[in-house]
């Protein structure tokens, strides 16, 4: 059974006499105990979608079901406080006038009548779950950012809701803490088995946490699939570029069969991962992940080996980021930290056929993706 | 709140409203509350303006008609505009306002610069002394200066006459336009000074340092950097204070009327409260409309210019300790001058009131009269029944008006900041309008409304409560809008996502978080309402006398000792309250 069913959700609003469509015909089916991620650049509609699920935003049309109960449709609009949800906000939203205990107890106190002892017990359990029991008597304002976010998570879970909504919960934390919270979030979610919808613009978070990802752009879901599918088999230039840094090479399909696919490009002929729906003669774009390119000082035996010149070489600790010029084409590559080529060196770049993913050309999506990666790349950079 | 009084702090861009909204089922509680808030405000704010328009465009020889058929007529306007005296009053009002503003802004700028940017000794003390008169009601400082400067036996006049061996009337005249300008100007200084220092303090001195490193001298920096950066504050404060000057009845009444100096506000009062005959509501409404136009015009200009306020966005920001200008040997001259100012503006009037309250009758100060010091005035005044009832009225009005203003302004501010309703702009405008309506006009309109409507509050304390709530909506909303803006929306949403109903969100999250703002606003409105003379005087009857009107009545009646006694008591309360409030909240808008 699906825990959340979103059908043809649309959200439009007026801004300066223009109608802006934030969410455009989104249909999603999220199963029980899934960790479902809405991934996309800022302004892609992922947060609005989440807020519609929470009832903090009224969609213009479409319907939403939570656990089989219709909460939004043409005829029904269940207000937020009657939806069986728990939500964690980007800026924690911890009430500064309450203690840690009071913050977590709030959802229990305002709802059904529970005995004091029971409230106390459940608050302790929730705080235990996020490793915050020792702070139970603190004032909320005395907590650090990471602690506030844990508190916020405990508060969202204490009612034992059907659905947990996470609105970029990690983005305000510093890099170290974010990594730690990331693993903990996944552990907690697995332990209590709660359906979770997670909104993020960070591909690493999305890939590492999710059971399923929907990549959004311009209010639409561009691709939906498991993290592996999203990363290894992006269906568009946008997804390939947004999820991980990618170099794109334009070309034309030379031959296509169930076992082999070759594309003629500026680099030369590329053997690519076979794909059923690609026809010979079609114009195509080949996506190359930096980490799948092998950089060597001597040519390798085998397909897809090209000579190039190092333009830029940045040592980043666990590897070296290169920009390598092959013909007129600039490729991003990630080399081992053991050897570092410097700008001007002649090197050889090799890509395994399985790592060359053919995308059908879509100029619009590519444009959007380039804008988006500026944002995402900035975030990734600050992580390191 | 250091910001600038005219506009409420701008809310962060709210999430825009969905294009199409579907109505589902019964309206939400919040929707009903919003609707009631807007309706009450429309009634409080638009009602008076409509009433004024109605009364001024009617033939009112037989009273104001509120049911059709309306006797539409322009007689009031032709009468008022055809009268040469109107233009004389207009000229006096403009001259009075301009001179007051000039005087108070020059004084305030000098003190702000001395306190914030120079090595003046005892800057903290000077700051407090300049701000201290905020608590003093206008009517009381007017009475004090009347005691000091009246031509026959003002204390200063007598002293000057004896020093220079003059005979006849004293050299200075309290009942003249220059004296009015002086006293009103002094009354404007504290708030003007506070606004300027606040903005000067927030202004990063690196901007001035940048000028200095570009080779500009102190004088050039002042002219080319500091003053231009202060321009938004100066314009904003100027317009605010302009409305303050033209709406006030107190100082023009006490000092202007005896010398036949009439401004618009006293003209409205005179026409509605004639010594004999019936009040002419048509003419007074017409004056009211003119006064309203006079107040609104600069506000419209301001709103046009304030759009460029973003140009000055760099003005705020973490300031470094500013480098202070060394005054050198002028240091102690400036200090002496500051002390002298404090003595003249605050200590001297207070002392005179205290002295007069301890004397059986008004006479020159001498060793002989010092032996006449008596508490008889206090005993007599405090034991009178009128004092008891007026004290009670003052408290009832203060509490009810501040409560009403706070309740309305909180729900209005929420509407302005959070609501996605189409009517938000209406709420915004409604909150802003009372700011531009001079108090004397509000009082006049409220008086007309309850003369006509079958609501039996005319002549009671409640009509004053209604007028005060209307007048102080803008002030209160400015505070509450700021307060709600500072509460992240996420805190409310988290409560809703935790299962809290709208009423529970208010009770458990919003109101507790807003408590300091609400308390501050409540005290601020309370303080302003007990200092206010204009509204209670315009709406006065024998059943709703408050302390401020009682003071004026005693003074008008010639009971100088009684007026002085009440003034000393009220000043003690308001000055203390103002200082406590400042300490409590750091508020700059007392």
Return the CA Rg of chain B: 25
What's the CA angle centered on B399, arms B456 and B403, to 5 degrees? Answer: 90
Asked if B28 is an interface residue toward chain A (Cβ–Cβ < 8 A), one would say yes
Which range of A113-127, A265-279, B92-106, B209-223 scores highest in mean pLDDT? It is: B92-106
Stretch 503-522 of chain B: residues touching chain A, C-beta under 8 Å: 504, 508-509, 512-513
B202 and B165 in a common domain: yes
SS (H, E, C) chain A: CEEEEEEEEEEEEEECCEEEEEEEEEEEEEECCCEEEEECCCCCCHHHHHHHHHCCCCCCEEEEEECCEEEECCCCECCHHHCCEEEECCCCCCCCCCEHHHHHHHHHHCCCCCCHHHHHHHHHHHHHHCCCHHHCCCEHHHCCHHHHHHHHHHHHHCCCCCEEEEECCCCCCCHHHHHHHHHHHHHHHHHHCCEEEEEECCHHHHHHHCCEEEEEECCEEEEEECHHHHHHCCCCHHHHHHCCCCEEEEEEEEEECCCCEEEEECCEEEEECCCCCCCCCCEEEEEECHHHEEEECCCCCCCCEEEEEEEEEEECCCCEEEEEEECCEEEEEEECCCCCCCCCCEEEEEECHHHEEEEECCHHHHHHHHHHHHHHHHHHHHHC
CATH label of the domain that carries residue B379: 1.10.3720.10
Q: Do B512 and A97 touch (CB under 8 A)?
A: yes
The overall average pLDDT reported for chain B is 83
Mean pLDDT for the stretch of residues B190-211:
78
Selected residue with higher pLDDT from B228 and B501: B501
> Which of the 8 DSSP states describes residue B423?
T
Residue B96 has pLDDT above 90, yes or no: yes
Task: Report yes or no on B379 lying in a domain.
Answer: yes
Count of domains forming chain B? 2
Residues B80 and B44 in one domain: no
The answer to whether residue B317 is domain-embedded is no
d(Cα A30, Cα A4) in Å, to the nearest integer?
5
Give me the pLDDT at residue B589, please: 42
DSSP letter (8 states) at residue B25: S
What do you get for the CA distance between the two ends of chain B, in Å? 10
Task: Return the pLDDT at A378.
Answer: 37
Q: What is the pLDDT of residue A179?
A: 86
Query: Based on the domain organization, do B63 and B96 belong to the same domain?
Result: no
Could you tell me which residues are beta bridge partners of residue A235?
none
Most confident of A37-41, A175-179, B36-40, B385-389: A37-41
Report yes or no on B130 lying in a domain. yes
| Higher-pLDDT residue of B23, A257 | A257
A384 pLDDT higher than 50: no
Strands A35-39 and A212-217: parallel
User: Would the CB atoms of A80 and B504 count as touching at under 8 Å?
Assistant: no
Q: What is the mean pLDDT of residues A328-341?
A: 88
pLDDT digits (tens, 9 = 90+) for B155-179: 888 888 888 877 777 788 889 999 9
Distance (Å, rounded) from C-alpha B585 to C-alpha B483? Answer: 13
Query: Which phi and psi (to 5°) does residue A321 adopt?
Result: -90, 125
pLDDT of residue A86: 92
**pLDDT higher than 80, residue B581:** no
Q: What percentage of chain B's residues is helix, strand, coil (to nearest 5)?
A: 75, 0, 25
Q: Which residues does residue A268 pair with via DSSP β-bridges, in sequence order?
A: A265
Instruction: Give the model's pLDDT for residue A181.
Output: 87
- What is the mean pLDDT of the segment spanning A67-77? 89
Closest Cα to residue B516, out of A358, A55, A97, A71? A97
* Whether B498 and A82 lie within 8 Å, measured CB to CB: no
Identity of the residue in A58, A85, A92 whose CB atom sits nearest the CB atom of B497: A85
- Summarize pLDDT for B420-450 with one digit per residue, the tens: 767 677 777 788 788 788 888 999 999 988 9
Distance CA B325, CA A224 (A): 66
Structure tokens at B85: 């005296």
Tens of pLDDT along B541-559?
889 999 999 999 999 988 8
- Say whether both B52 and B86 belong to one domain: no
B250-294 pLDDT tens trace? 999 999 988 889 998 998 888 888 888 788 888 888 888 888 888
* pLDDT of amino acid A166: 94
Q: Do B41 and B102 sit in the same domain of this protein?
A: no
* B58, β-bridge pairs: B72
Best of B18, B488, B499 to disrupt the A interface by mutation (most A CBs within 10 Å)?
Answer: B499
How do residues B486-532 score in pLDDT, each as one tens digit?
888 889 999 999 999 888 999 999 999 998 889 888 988 998 999 99
Name the token pair of A306.
């090209």
Is A237-383 a CATH 2.40.50.140 domain?
yes
Q: Tokens 């000092």, residue?
A: B255
pLDDT at residue A370 in the model: 46
Which residues of chain A have a Cβ shorter than 8 Å from any chain B Cβ? 11-15, 19-20, 54-61, 74-77, 79-82, 85-87, 89-97, 106-107, 110-111, 152, 155-156, 159, 165
Lowest mean pLDDT among B76-80, B426-430, B454-458, B475-479: B426-430
Q: Does B500 lie in the same domain as B401?
A: yes
Question: Residue B203 pLDDT > 80, yes or no?
Answer: no
> Minimal CA–CA distance to A151: which of A201, A103, A192?
A103
Q: Which sequence spans correspond to the domains of chain A? A: 2-232, 237-383
**Cβ <8 Å between A79 and B496:** yes
Q: pLDDT-derived band of residue A123, with 50, 70 and 90 as boundaries?
A: very high
Of residues B579 and B4, the one with the higher pLDDT is B579
Contact (CB<8Å) B513/A80: no
pLDDT number for residue A212: 95
The edge-to-edge listing of strands for the beta sheet with A163-167 is: A85-88, A163-167, A195-200, A35-39, A212-217, A220-225
State the pLDDT confidence band at B315, using cuts at 50, 70 and 90.
very low
B247 and B267 co-located in one domain: yes
Residue of A nearest to B17 (CA): A13
Q: What is the dihedral of CA B468, B473, B476, B482, to 10 degrees?
A: -170
Q: Which residues of A touch B513 (CB under 8 A)?
A: 95-97
Nearest CA in chain A to B512: A97
Please report how the helices B376-383 and B385-418 are oriented relative to each other, as an axis angle in degrees rounded to 10: 70
B501 and B519 belong to one structural domain:
yes
Q: A81 to chain B: which residues are within 8 Å by CB?
A: 496-502, 504
Using CB atoms, pick whichever of B17, B28, B504 lies closest to residue A14.
B17
Rounded average pLDDT over A351-379: 58
Q: Which of A27-31, B50-54, B202-206 has the lowest mean pLDDT?
A: B202-206
**How many CB atoms sit inside 10 A of residue B535's CB?**
29
Q: Note whether residue B228 is domain-resident.
A: yes
What chain A residue is nearest to B498 in terms of C-alpha separation? Answer: A107
The torsion defined by the Cα of A361, A363, A367 and A372, in degrees rounded to 10, comes to -30
Quick one: pLDDT band at residue B308, thresholds 50, 70, 90?
low
For residue B349, what are its two tokens? 């009037």
Q: How many CB pairs under 8 A join A and B?
A: 99
Supply the DSSP symbol for B345.
Answer: I
- DSSP-assigned letter for residue B169: S
Half-sphere exposure of residue B233, counting CA atoms within 13 Å on the CB side?
A: 28
Q: Residue B251: which domain range?
A: 74-307+324-347
Residue B223 CA to its chain's centroid (Å)? 30
Mutation for B interface: A89, A155, A158, most B CBs within 10 A: A89
In this prediction, residue B577 carries a pLDDT of 82
Structure tokens at B228: 């231009």
On whether both B343 and B437 belong to a single domain, the answer is no
Q: Which letter, b or e, does each residue of B262-272 get, where b requires 16 or more Cβ atoms within 10 Å of its Cβ?
A: bbbbbbbbbbb
- What is the C-alpha to C-alpha distance for residues A335 and A331, in angstroms, rounded to an integer? 12
Indicate if the pLDDT at residue A26 is higher than 90. yes
pLDDT band at A152 (very low <50, low <70, confident <90, very high): very high
Instruction: Report chain A's mean pLDDT, rounded to a whole number.
Output: 86
Q: Is B494 within 8 Å of chain A by CB?
A: yes
Angle between helices B84-117 and B330-342 (to 10 degrees): 130
Distance CA(B300)–CA(B296), nearest Å, equals: 6
- Give the DSSP letter string of B182-247: HHHHHHHHHHHHHHHHHHHHHS-HHHHHHHHHTT--HHHHIIIIIHHHHHHHHHHHHHHHHHHHHH
- Is the predicted ipTM greater than 0.90, yes or no? no
- Residues of chain B above pLDDT 90, percent: 29
| Domain contains B409 | yes
CB A54 within 8 A of CB B452: no
* Cβ-Cβ contacts under 8 Å, B20 against chain A: 12, 60-61
pLDDT score for B566:
93
Q: Is the peptide bond before B69 cis (omega within 30 degrees of 0)?
A: yes
Residue-wise pLDDT for B316-348, tens only, equals 444 455 667 778 788 899 999 999 999 999 999
pLDDT of res. B255: 92
CB atoms within 10 A of CB A378: 9
Q: Are both B273 and B416 inside the same structural domain?
A: no
Residues B142 and B274 in one domain: yes
Distance in Å, alpha carbon of B36 to nearest chain A alpha carbon: 21
Which residues lie below 8 Å from residue B27, measured CB to CB, with a gap of 6+?
Answer: none
Is B500's Cβ below 8 Å from some Cβ in A?
A: yes
What confidence category does residue B248 fall into, taking pLDDT thresholds of 50, 70 and 90?
A: confident
Where is pLDDT greater, at B208 or B490?
B490
**B90 and B64 in one domain?**
no
Query: Does the CB of B129 have a partner CB in chain A at under 8 Å?
Result: no
B255 contacts B146 by C-beta, under 8 angstroms: yes
B39 found inside a domain = yes
CB B108 within 8 A of CB B127: no
The CA-to-CA distance between both ends of chain A, in Å, stands at 41
Cross-chain Cβ contact B498/A110 below 8 Å = yes
Angle at B552 between CA B550 and CA B558, to 5 degrees: 105
Task: Identify whether B6 is part of a domain.
Answer: no
CA distance A54 to chain B (A): 7
Q: Residue B526's pLDDT is what?
A: 92
Q: Which residues, listed in sequence order, are joined to residue A307 by a DSSP beta bridge?
A: A348
* Mean pLDDT of the B102-122 span: 90
**Residue A192 CB neighbours (<10 A):** 13
Q: Which fold has domain A2-232?
A: Rossmann fold (3.40.50)
**Is 60 exceeded by the pLDDT of residue A162?**
yes
Whether the predicted pLDDT of A383 surpasses 80: no
């Amino acid at each position: 059974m699906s825990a959340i069913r979103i059908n043809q959700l649309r959200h439009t609003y007026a801004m300066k006499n223009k109608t802006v469509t934030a969410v455009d015909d989104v249909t999603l089916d999220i199963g029980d105990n899934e960790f479902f991620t809405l991934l996309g650049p800022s302004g892609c509609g992922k947060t609005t979608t989440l807020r519609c699920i929470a009832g903090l935003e009224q969609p213009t049309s479409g319907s939403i079901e939570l656990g089989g109960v219709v909460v939004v449709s043409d005829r029904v609009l269940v207000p937020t406080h009657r939806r069986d949800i728990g939500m964690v906000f980007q800026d924690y939203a911890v009430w500064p006038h309450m203690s840690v205990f009071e913050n977590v107890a709030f959802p229990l106190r305002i709802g059904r009548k529970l005995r004091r002892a029971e409230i106390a017990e459940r608050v302790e359990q929730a705080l235990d779950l996020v490793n915050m029991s020792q702070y139970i008597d603190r004032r909320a304002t005395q907590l650090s950012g990471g602690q506030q976010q844990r508190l916020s998570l405990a508060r969202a879970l204490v009612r034992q809701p059907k659905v947990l909504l996470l609105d970029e919960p990690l983005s305000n934390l510093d890099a170290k803490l974010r990594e730690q919270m990331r693993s903990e979030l996944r552990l907690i979610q697995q332990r209590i088995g709660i359906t979770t919808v997670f909104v993020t613009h960070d591909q690493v978070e999305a890939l590492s946490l999710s059971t399923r990802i929907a990549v959004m752009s311009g209010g639409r879901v561009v691709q939906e699939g498991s993290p592996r599918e999203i990363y290894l088999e992006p269906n568009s230039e946008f997804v390939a570029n947004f999820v991980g840094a990618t170099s794109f090479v334009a070309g034309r399909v030379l031959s296509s069969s169930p076992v082999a696919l070759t594309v003629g490009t500026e680099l030369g002929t590329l053997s690519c991962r076979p794909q059923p729906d690609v026809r010979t003669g079609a114009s195509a774009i080949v996506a190359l992940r930096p980490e799948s390119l092998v950089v060597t000082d001597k040519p390798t035996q085998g397909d897809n080996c090209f000579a190039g010149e190092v333009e830029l070489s940045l040592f980043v600790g666990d590897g070296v980021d290169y920009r390598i010029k092959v013909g007129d084409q600039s490729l991003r590559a990630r080399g081992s930290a053991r050897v570092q080529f410097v700008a001007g060196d002649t090197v050889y770049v090799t890509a395994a056929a399985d790592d060359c993913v053919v995308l059908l050309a879509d100029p619009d999506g590519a444009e959007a993706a380039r804008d988006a990666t500026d944002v995402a790349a900035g975030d990734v950079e600050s992580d390191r | 709140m250091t910001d600038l009084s005219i506009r409420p702090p701008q809310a962060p861009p709210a999430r825009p409203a969905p294009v199409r909204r579907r109505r589902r089922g019964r309206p939400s509680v919040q929707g009903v509350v919003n609707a009631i808030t807007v309706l009450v405000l429309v009634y409080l704010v638009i009602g008076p303006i409509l009433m004024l328009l109605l009364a001024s465009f009617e033939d009112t020889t037989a009273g104001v008609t509120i049911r059709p058929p309306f006797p539409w007529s322009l007689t009031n306007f032709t009468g008022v505009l055809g009268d040469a005296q109107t233009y004389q009053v207009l000229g006096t009002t403009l001259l009075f306002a301009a001179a007051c503003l000039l005087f108070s802004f020059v004084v305030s700028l000098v003190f702000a610069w001395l306190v914030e940017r120079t090595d003046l000794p005892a800057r903290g003390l000077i700051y407090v002394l300049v701000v201290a008169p905020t608590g003093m009601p206008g009517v009381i400082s007017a009475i004090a200066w009347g005691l000091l400067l009246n031509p026959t036996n003002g204390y200063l006049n007598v002293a000057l006459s004896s020093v220079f061996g003059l005979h006849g009337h004293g050299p200075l005249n309290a009942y003249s336009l220059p004296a009015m300008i002086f006293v009103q100007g002094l009354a404007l200084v504290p708030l003007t000074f506070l606004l300027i220092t606040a903005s000067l303090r927030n202004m990063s001195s690196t901007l001035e340092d940048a000028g200095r490193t570009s080779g500009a001298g102190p004088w050039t920096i002042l002219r080319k950097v500091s003053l231009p950066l202060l321009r938004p504050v100066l314009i904003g404060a100027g317009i605010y204070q302009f409305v303050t000057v033209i709406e006030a009845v107190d100082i023009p009444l006490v000092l202007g009327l005896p010398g036949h100096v009439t401004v618009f506000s006293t003209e409205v009062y005179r026409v509605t409260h004639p010594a004999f005959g019936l009040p002419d509501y048509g003419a007074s409404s017409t004056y009211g409309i003119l006064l309203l136009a006079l107040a609104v015009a600069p506000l419209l200009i301001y709103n046009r210019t304030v759009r460029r306020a973003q140009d000055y966005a760099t003005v705020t920001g973490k300031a470094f300790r500013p480098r202070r200008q060394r005054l050198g040997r002028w240091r102690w001259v400036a200090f002496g001058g500051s002390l002298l100012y404090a003595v003249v503006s605050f200590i001297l009037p207070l002392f005179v009131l205290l002295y007069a309250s301890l004397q059986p009758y008004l006479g020159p100060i001498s060793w002989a009269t010092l032996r006449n010091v008596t508490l008889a005035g206090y005993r007599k005044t405090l034991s009178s029944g009128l004092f008891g009832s007026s004290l009670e009225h003052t408290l009832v009005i203060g509490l009810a008006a501040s409560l009403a203003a706070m309740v309305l302004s909180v729900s209005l501010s929420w509407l302005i900041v959070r609501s996605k309703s189409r009517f938000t702009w209406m709420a915004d405008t409604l909150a802003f309008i009372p700011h531009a309506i001079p108090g004397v006009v509000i009082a006049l309109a409220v008086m007309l409304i309850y003369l006509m409507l079958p609501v039996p509050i005319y002549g009671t304390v409640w009509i004053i409560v209604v007028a005060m709530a209307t007048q102080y909506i803008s002030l209160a909303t400015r505070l509450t809008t700021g307060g709600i803006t500072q509460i992240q929306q996420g805190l409310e949403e988290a409560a809703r996502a935790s299962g809290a109903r709208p009423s529970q969100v208010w009770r458990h999250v919003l109101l507790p978080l807003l408590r300091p703002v609400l308390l501050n606003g409540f005290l601020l409105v309370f303080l302003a309402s007990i200092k206010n003379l204009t509204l209670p005087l315009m709406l006065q009857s024998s059943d709703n006398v408050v302390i401020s009107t009682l003071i004026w009545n005693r003074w008008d009646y010639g009971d100088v000792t009684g007026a002085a006694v009440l003034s000393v008591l009220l000043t003690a309360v308001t000055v203390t309250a103002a200082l406590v409030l400042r300490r409590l909240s750091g508020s700059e808008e007392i």
